Amino acid sequence: MDQGYRPGKFHLIHFGDTLKDSRYRIIRKLGYGCFSTELAILDALSQSTSKHPGKNHVMTMVDSFEHKNPNGVHRCLAFDVMGPSRAGALKESPKGVTNPSSERTQFPIWMVKSILYQTLLGIDFLHRSGVAHGDLQQGNLLFSVKDLNAPLTQYIDVDPRFCIKCSDLGGAFFLSDPPPTLVTPVALRSPELLFENKVNKVQDVWIFGCLIFELFTGRHLVLVTGMGNREEVDDDHFLQFNVILGPVPPSLRAKYPRAHIYYNEKGEQVKNYIGELPDGFDPGTIEASPTVEHAFDTAKPADMGVEEAHVIKGLLRWILDYDPAKRPLASEFLEHPWFSAVGSSLK
């Protein structure tokens, strides 16, 4: 059983092992892996003297040290103890955490609001620190825990003052030095990432808009996966954008290499499906994706009022704009009356 556990590679650990003169003890294995850029960002954030409240909602190092062992010298990073991700917690939700008014397994509205607000604070702190997260998905939002002596999902802290932190900075980057591409899940790509492979900090803002939709509805905004032919995956994403958010602006559509397959020179759609259809199949019977408003109304929590739903749909339209320059900054979003009210309720 090599698996990389040899001199110059991984250090083999066992439950009960201690590190740094017994200050730390191994009780669980959560995963592995780290990138050099991530280390630089973690170093920078851990040294930040910022008093921004969002600093409490980003996983930063509390300690760093070297551990000498038969396989070499390994740098060890210590973080605050956290529990499962938002996605993982929902799969094995402890009693009292899900919304009884929903047919799907969802968190109650008050929890969704708190998760979103805390996440937004974390985004704002990162951006003000010159860093973009780059992979802000549900699986990277971690809950605080109250105990470590049992499965983590049984000990999610669901007190009204529970804490959420943005974790996994493996896809993060300094705003002054953006990477050529991102590790963002396919369905969460912004238009500029799909059409131009353009990397910027407002990708975080775009994904946050997708998170608003996902957390309130329990569904994905765009239904595409990374499986299959990449061109077909991208084409599917392109077509869904046109329906969910409205027609892609001509200037942006012109940058898509296969737009001519689906639109003529007048901007009229001539094809609404990927690949070829069986003989005799009527393309007019293909069910189109619903608009963001219709999809939200169909899947929103049953106990959400009409007025609040209207406000949230307005927020989605504001943030999910084709033009990244028209999307709000995280700081602007925090100043919106709806988010301000959420923040006030948590104090």
Asked if 38 contacts 81 with a C-beta cutoff of 8 angstroms, the reply is no
Q: Locate CATH 1.10.510.10 in the chain.
A: 86-345
H or E element that contains 341: helix 337-345
Per-residue pLDDT at 162 = 85
The pLDDT score that the predictor gives to residue 95 is 46
- DSSP bridge partners of 263: 269
CA distance 195 to 187: 14
Report whether pLDDT(323) > 90: yes
* N-to-C CA span, the chain: 52
Q: Are 98 and 108 in contact (CB under 8 A)?
A: yes
Residue-wise pLDDT for 11-49, tens only, equals 778 888 888 888 888 877 766 655 667 888 988 898 899
The predicted pLDDT at position 182 comes to: 86
Q: Identify the CATH homologous superfamily for domain 86-345.
A: Transferase(Phosphotransferase) domain 1 (1.10.510.10)
